[in-house]
Structures are given as structure tokens and as C-alpha cells.
Amino acid sequence: MQVENVPGILVENTFIESKFLAREVKVDFYLPRNVADPSQMSLLLINDGQDMEKMGFESILEELFTGDDAIAPVLCVAIHCSTDRKMEYGVAGMPDYKGRGAKANLYTSFIFEELLPFVRKQYAVPSFKEKSFAGFSLGGLMALDIVWNHPGQFSKVGVFSGSLWWRNIDQDDEEYDDDKHRIIHQQIRNGQYAPWLKFFFQCGNMDELKDRNQNGIIDSIDDTLDLIKELVAKGYSEENEIKYLELKDGHHDVFTWGRAMPDFLRWGWGK
């Protein structure tokens, strides 16, 4: 395991051999220093961990851990994707119309049966105060799928420019219907209400140009707002349990997600 010294943070990098994914998974750990009581530390898993360096995640955390409005201690675990990203990320057991996401169930097994046991053993924390998951684009969809379908394990999810369009029929198919064929929307609609869950969504007005229903709103925003409607219909409060951040000049890129990251961390762990 490699270790980097950053003021306020201990950064460690390692590889975990996964039997489920049949590969080594690179994982970066961002551990807050001087945690008096490890049982009061939260855990945040992050998909697409390879983007954290480009985002300047260390600097973001350093400021939030040591500033005047410091957030509560949270161990951030950034999981690097593989070249098979479009197969490992998605909705477990429900590939899209092109068969993408076929390994999402294996990625889910990696999280629960390999990664989490490693984290608990490595840092001698048998139980965290709470666990959360975040991700970007397709990684955001994967984070939401895992949290929604395992509510007993998590309390929050962060979805940045999420691929919430994930559908089982091509949108050009004459039978395509937003209400019937967007997979994660159906998951929410048919799922069970877990009152402790909280949701953070971020979109950028320049995430994309597509507007399949020609309503003047890009698809990524439409898909996100429609998902929020499903959550509200399920019983979640927009005021207390759902946070939506729309950046007017935001793009579908790491720079934009880095701008939104402090808002997400303060929302989730601000004191």
C-alpha cells in the first residue's frame, strides 16, 4: 500500500484482487487525520475514483476537513474503474437495450463481499457512523442503484450528471415511452420507501445537447427531475431529503463535478 502525506488527510493507494470482477481493482483511501473516535467516522464510496486526482479531490477535502466550517470526519474510498466500465456500471441484473451493464451485479458483489470487508479490516472500524455512495455519469447510476436496492446499508447517495436515461428499449423505437422504459425510474417506482435515505443530484445545463421530447430541456436534466418526482411520489421530501444542484455553465466533465463536490460534502457531512 502506498501512502501520501497531505495536511489534514492521509492518502493511501492499494489494489484489491477481485474474484467477482476477475481483475485487480485500484482503490484510493482518503482518511481524515486526528479522528478521536473511529466509530463516529462515516464512509463514502466513490465510483470512477481515477478522476479524483484531476478533480483536485485532496485539496477539496483538506479545505473541508481543516477550515472554519469543517465537515464531520468521513473516510472517502475512491474506486477506479476498468476498461470494462460500461459493463461493470449500470443497474444490477438489468442491462440496457445494448446489453451494457451486464456485469453490474458482479460489481455490486465486489462492493459488499470484497471491498467493504477490506475497508473494515484495514482501518479497524467494524461499524461506521453511516455509509454513503457517490458517482459521476454512469458511475452515478451505479451508486444510486446500489444504495436504492440496499437501503439497510446506506444513508445517502450523490449522483453527478447521472446516466438516468438508462433504458431497456432504444429511444428511437416506436414503442419507447419514458414512463415505461427508463430502468432506474421503474426501480424507484416499484421499490420500497426507506425514510432514512437522502439524495443529492447535480446537473449542468451543458451536460449534453440531446432533447428527445423537444421540450427545450436537455435529457439529463429531464431524466433527473423526473426521477426526483418519482422519489417525491414515493414519500421523500424535496426540502429535507432531496438536494438538486443545477449549474448553468456546468458541463459533463470532471471540472464541473469538482465544482459541485464541496456542495455535496457540506450537504452530507456539514456540522
Domain segments of the chain: what residues? 2-269
How do residues 93-108 score in pLDDT, each as one tens digit?
A: 999 999 999 999 999 9
What pLDDT, on a 0 to 100 scale, did the predictor assign at position 6?
A: 56
What pLDDT, on a 0 to 100 scale, did the predictor assign at position 243?
A: 98
What pLDDT, on a 0 to 100 scale, did the predictor assign at position 147?
A: 98
**Cβ within 8 Å of residue 154, ≥6 positions away:** 130, 131, 132, 133, 146, 147, 197
CA dist 270 and 11 (Å) reads: 21
What pLDDT, on a 0 to 100 scale, did the predictor assign at position 4?
A: 57
What pLDDT, on a 0 to 100 scale, did the predictor assign at position 252?
A: 94
Contact 178, 166 (CB under 8 A): no
What pLDDT, on a 0 to 100 scale, did the predictor assign at position 1?
A: 58
pLDDT in tens, the chain (271 residues): 554 555 578 899 999 999 999 999 999 999 988 787 888 899 999 999 999 999 999 999 999 988 776 899 999 999 999 999 999 999 999 999 999 999 999 999 999 999 999 999 999 888 899 999 999 999 999 999 999 999 999 999 999 999 999 999 988 888 888 788 999 999 999 999 999 999 999 999 888 777 577 777 678 888 999 999 999 999 999 999 999 999 999 999 999 999 999 999 999 999 7
What pLDDT, on a 0 to 100 scale, did the predictor assign at position 188?
A: 96
Determine the topology of domain 2-269 in CATH.
Answer: Rossmann fold (3.40.50)
Q: Is 134 left (phi over 0), alpha (psi -120 to 50) or beta?
A: beta
What pLDDT, on a 0 to 100 scale, did the predictor assign at position 248?
A: 93
Amino acid at 268: G
**Cβ within 8 Å of residue 140, ≥6 positions away:** 47, 134, 158, 159, 160, 161, 162, 163
**Cβ within 8 Å of residue 195, ≥6 positions away:** 235
What pLDDT, on a 0 to 100 scale, did the predictor assign at position 7?
A: 58
CB atoms within 10 A of CB 240: 8
What pLDDT, on a 0 to 100 scale, did the predictor assign at position 213?
A: 72
What pLDDT, on a 0 to 100 scale, did the predictor assign at position 64?
A: 92
What pLDDT, on a 0 to 100 scale, did the predictor assign at position 211?
A: 59
C-alpha cell at 212: 428527445
Angle between helices 183-190 and 219-234 (to 10 degrees): 10
